[in-house]
Amino acid sequence: MLRFVDTEQDYPAQRAAAERVRDFKEINALFGPEGDAEQAARCSQCGIPFCQIHCPLQNNIPDWLRLAAEGRLREAYEVSSATNNFPEICGRICPQDRLCEGNCVIENGFGSVTIGAVEKYITETAFAEGWVVAGQPKQETGRSIGIIGAGPAGLAAADMLRRKGHAVHIYDRYDRVGGLMIYGIPNFKLDKHVVQRREKLLRDAGVQFHLCAQVGDTITLEALRLGHDAVLIATGVYKARALEVANHNALPALDYLISSNKQGLGDDAPAISAEGKRVVVIGGGDTAMDCVRTAVRQGAASVTCLYRRDRANMPGSAHEVQNAEEEGVVFNWLSAPHAFHAAQVEVQRMRLTSTEMGGRQNAVAIPGDTYRIDADLVITALGFEPEDLPTLFNTPELVCTPHGTIAVDRNFQTALPGLFAAGDIVRGASLVVWAIKEGRDVAAAIHRYVMASKVKAA
Ligand code: FAD
Ligand code: SF4
Ligand code: SF4
Q: What is the 79 CA–ligand 3 centroid distance (Å)?
A: 16
- Cβ of 61 closer than 6 Å to ligand 2, yes or no, is yes
Which pLDDT does position 180 carry in this prediction? 97
Task: Evaluate if residue 107 carries a pLDDT over 90.
Answer: no
- Cβ of 149 closer than 6 Å to ligand 1, yes or no, is yes
Q: Which atom of ligand 1 is nearest to the CA of 152?
A: 51
Question: Tens of pLDDT along 400-445?
Answer: 999 999 999 999 999 999 999 999 999 999 999 999 999 999 999 9
CB neighbours of 182 closer than 8 A, spacing ≥ 6? Answer: 174, 176, 192, 195, 261, 265
Q: Which atom of ligand 3 is nearest to the CA of 113?
A: 8
Which pLDDT does position 356 carry in this prediction? 61
CA 185 distance to own-chain centroid: 7
Which pLDDT does position 358 carry in this prediction? 59
Which pLDDT does position 270 carry in this prediction? 61
Which pLDDT does position 7 carry in this prediction? 83
For the CA of 97, the nearest ligand: 2
Helix (H) or strand (E) holding 67: helix 61-69
- Cβ of 159 closer than 6 Å to ligand 2, yes or no, is no
Q: Is 387 exposed, middle or buried (0-12, 13-18, 19+ CB in 10 A)?
A: middle
Q: Which protein residue has the closest C-alpha to ligand 3 atom 4?
A: 46
Which pLDDT does position 160 carry in this prediction? 98
Q: What is the DSSP string of 368-383?
A: EEEEEEE-SEEEE---
Q: Of 6-20, 155-169, 273-287, which range is least confident?
A: 6-20
Question: Tens of pLDDT along 63-96?
Answer: 999 999 999 999 999 999 999 999 999 999 999 9
Q: What is the 322 CA–ligand 2 centroid distance (Å)?
A: 21
- Cβ of 283 closer than 6 Å to ligand 1, yes or no, is no
- Cβ of 235 closer than 6 Å to ligand 1, yes or no, is yes
Question: Tens of pLDDT along 265-280?
Answer: 988 766 789 999 999 9
Q: What is the 374 CA–ligand 2 centroid distance (Å)?
A: 40
Q: Which stretches of 164-246 are DSSP H helices? A: 180-183, 192-205, 221-227
Rounded to 10°, the helix 73-81/61-69 angle is 170
- Cβ of 105 closer than 6 Å to ligand 3, yes or no, is yes
Which pLDDT does position 76 carry in this prediction? 97
Q: Of 111-115, 163-167, 243-247, 331-335, which range is least confident?
A: 243-247
Buried b (16+ CB within 10 A) or exposed e, 113-136: bbbbbbbbbbbbbbeeeeebeebe
Which domains are delineated in the chain?
3-129 (1.10.1060.10), 144-237+386-452 (3.50.50.60), 240-380 (3.50.50.60)
- Cβ of 379 closer than 6 Å to ligand 1, yes or no, is no
- Cβ of 68 closer than 6 Å to ligand 3, yes or no, is no
- Cβ of 435 closer than 6 Å to ligand 1, yes or no, is yes
- Cβ of 302 closer than 6 Å to ligand 1, yes or no, is no
Instruction: Ligand 2 pocket test: pick from 89, 99, 440 the residue with the most ligand atoms within 8 Å of its Cβ.
Output: 99
